Amino acid sequence: MTDNGFVSLVGAGPGDAELMTVKAVRLLQEADAVVYDRLVSKEILDLIPAGISRVSVGKEVGKHCVPQDQINETIVNLAKSGRKIVRLKGGDPYMFGRGGEEVLALIKHKIAFEVVPGVTAASGCSAYSGIPLTHRGMSRSVRFITGHFKNDEPLDINWQRVADPDCTLVIYMGLGNLAHICEALIDAGLSASTPAAAIENGTTQQQQRVLSQLDQLQDAVNQSGLKAPVMIIIGEVVSLAEELDWFQSSLEETVYDKDLAAHS
């Protein structure tokens, strides 16, 4: 027998608290401690009942507040105290979330666990931006790509394979390398006029969306002042963003209404 506790590796989704799964919300209610990332929104953290211990292990690209090894150690130590631990991660734990590394640490220390998937940032940001990831006649596949390698190593990506006009490209953590990504895709044969989008804080009330074409995306992002977290989506499906929009326009109307109220 072991006195170890139990760890639930939970996907918090892309930001909107109502996109969390029923199971994820239940586990937050039942936890003894919650270990959470920077990308977990305040709206979601407010779902944690008072009295439950909260441990922030927030990380920013290029500024690792807590090294991954230390995060693993924190989760293991909390679990060894015999408590129920929720490891709350933005999006889905296994989609560029390093969830596999944390699970391997739990296995090493013989700690029982479960993995609760979450709505990915890719699907959340695309849906709230009016961009279907696939669409008949436009996109037959989707590629999820990291735009940032560990320790700020140069991007080692086979751009020739990625530059497929029949594929939607979804790039995580690509803001810092955006100019290089756009140039590399064009050099690999993807049309410079390919529709492209950048979405900041997708699915939240702070969402901002920039629509452009591939060779102008960097300038458009610079002018807009977008800051991480930003999801990049490239492909013909982005051309549907204005027509299929249902969320961004409502945000803009809300801002407009507030401006009117302020001047009335």
pLDDT in tens, 1-58: 357 899 999 999 999 999 999 999 999 999 999 999 988 999 999 999 999 999 999 8
Which residue type occupies 113?
F
Q: Please indicate, yes or no, whether residues 126 and 244 belong to a single structural domain of this protein.
A: yes
Query: What would the mean pLDDT of 153-164 be, rounded to a whole number?
Result: 90
Residue whose pair of structure tokens reads 């590394």 in the numeric block: 101
Answer yes or no: do 62 and 129 share one domain. Answer: no
User: Do the domain assignments include residue 61?
Assistant: yes
**Residue 14 falls within a domain, yes or no?**
yes
Residue 259 lies in a domain: no
Q: Does residue 110 share a domain with residue 133?
A: no
Q: Name the amino acid, one letter, at 27.
A: L
Cβ distance 125 to 73 under 8 Å? no
Q: How many beta carbons lie within 10 A of that of residue 158, not counting itself?
A: 8
Instruction: Note if 3 is an active site residue.
Output: no
Residues shown for the chain: 264
Which entry of 59, 84, 215, 245 is annotated as an active-site residue?
59
Same domain, 223 and 238: yes
Q: What's the whole-number mean pLDDT along residues 113-127?
A: 97
**SS3 per residue for 193-238:** CCEEEEEECCCCCCCEEEEEEHHHHHHHHHHHCCCCCEEEEECHHH
Residue 59 annotated as catalytic: yes
Asked whether residue 144 falls in the same domain as residue 105, the answer is no
Is the pLDDT at 261 greater than 90, yes or no? no
> Are residues 96 and 53 both part of a single domain?
yes
Per-residue CA distances from 125 to 9, 58, 63, 83, 198 (Å) = 22, 21, 24, 34, 9
132 and 212 inside one domain? yes
How far is the CA of 28 from the CAs of 99, 107, 196, 247, 252, in angstroms? 18, 22, 36, 28, 32
pLDDT at 235 over 50: yes
Q: Is 1 part of a structural domain of the chain?
A: no
Which residue among 37, 89, 92, 164 is the active-site one? 37
Q: Which of 45, 46, 13 is nearest to 56 (CA)?
A: 45
Inside any domain, residue 144: yes
Q: Are residues 19 and 115 in the same domain?
A: yes
Question: In percent, how much of the chain has pLDDT > 90?
Answer: 84
For the whole model, what pTM was predicted?
Answer: 0.90
Model confidence at 111, in pLDDT bands (50, 70, 90)?
very high
Residue 257 within a domain: no
Q: What is the tally of structural domains in the chain?
A: 2
Q: Are residues 127 and 242 in the same domain?
A: yes
Residues 106, 16 within the same domain: yes
CATH number of the CATH domain containing 106? 3.40.1010.10
Residue carrying the six token digits 């320790």: 151
Residue 163 domain-assigned (yes or no):
yes
Among residues 119, 147, 178, which one ends one of the domains? 119
Q: Which of 118, 97, 86, 96 is nearest to 15 (CA)?
A: 118
108 is written with which tokens? Answer: 């090493």
CA-only gyration radius of the chain, Å: 20
For range 86-106, the mean pLDDT? 96
Residue with tokens 């999801």: 231
Asked whether residue 154 is assigned to any structural domain, the reply reads yes
Residue ranges making up the domain that contains 188? 122-248
Average pLDDT of the chain, as a whole number: 92
Q: What is the CATH number of the domain that holds 225?
A: 3.30.950.10
Number of Cα atoms under 13 Å in the Cβ half of residue 63: 5
Asked whether residue 88 falls in the same domain as residue 167, the answer is no
Are the beta carbons of 207 and 251 closer than 8 angstroms? Answer: yes
The answer on 132 and 223 residing in a single domain is yes
